[in-house]
Amino acid sequence: MPDRSLYLGRMHALDTQLCLSINRTSHYRWVRLLFRVVSRLGDGMFWCLLMIGILMMEHAAGVMPVLHMVVAGACGTLVYKAVKGRTLRPRPFEVNQAVKVGMAPLDHFSFPSGHVLHAVLFSMIALAYYPSLVWLLALFTGLVAASRVVLGLHYPSDVLAGATLGALLAKGSLMLVG
């Protein structure tokens, strides 16, 4: 049976290598600026605007989807903070000087990506109610995920973990709502 630490070391090396490769794209000013805007919108503004838009377009029929998103989002915050508080993984730019940070992080730790967790969570819930938004939400969620690595704030595994947690929370909340 292979040594677990050897396997984890290889996984971390691959994660770091991917992080560095993706982060190099931030050397282009326009790439850095684009992903800074996407990341700032992913802080919550995009999702708030989406919920306001749903309420404006759907009126009373939009209340349930918006409440669903708000409650699930609060649960997502609790989950990601609990995981971050236990793993305490430093951000890539703090560990490797070759990783260039593209903007200030919102908190100290890297694993998992809360931005991606919420992007996947909100997108899956919104799409359950409004499937016609698939192109907008898929594009934005993908850009949010990419932004976290491009800007040197997360490793690819942080993004994958955030997406997985977001999908599990969305699936669970959709099952509860039925």
Count up the domains in the chain and report the number: 1
The whole-number mean pLDDT for each consecutive block of 10 residues of the chain, a chain of 178 residues, reads 74 91 94 97 96 97 97 96 94 94 91 97 98 98 98 97 98 93
Structural domain range at position 160: 4-177
Q: What local confidence, expressed as pLDDT, does residue 145 receive?
A: 98
Identify residue 163 by its one-letter amino acid code. Answer: A
The CATH number of the domain where 165 resides is what? 1.10.606.20
Q: What local confidence, expressed as pLDDT, does residue 1 receive?
A: 53
Q: What local confidence, expressed as pLDDT, does residue 158 receive?
A: 97
Q: What local confidence, expressed as pLDDT, does residue 23 receive?
A: 95
* pTM, to two decimals: 0.94
**Chain segment 38-80, per-residue pLDDT in tens:** 999 999 999 999 999 999 999 999 999 999 999 999 999 999 9
Q: What local confidence, expressed as pLDDT, does residue 2 receive?
A: 61
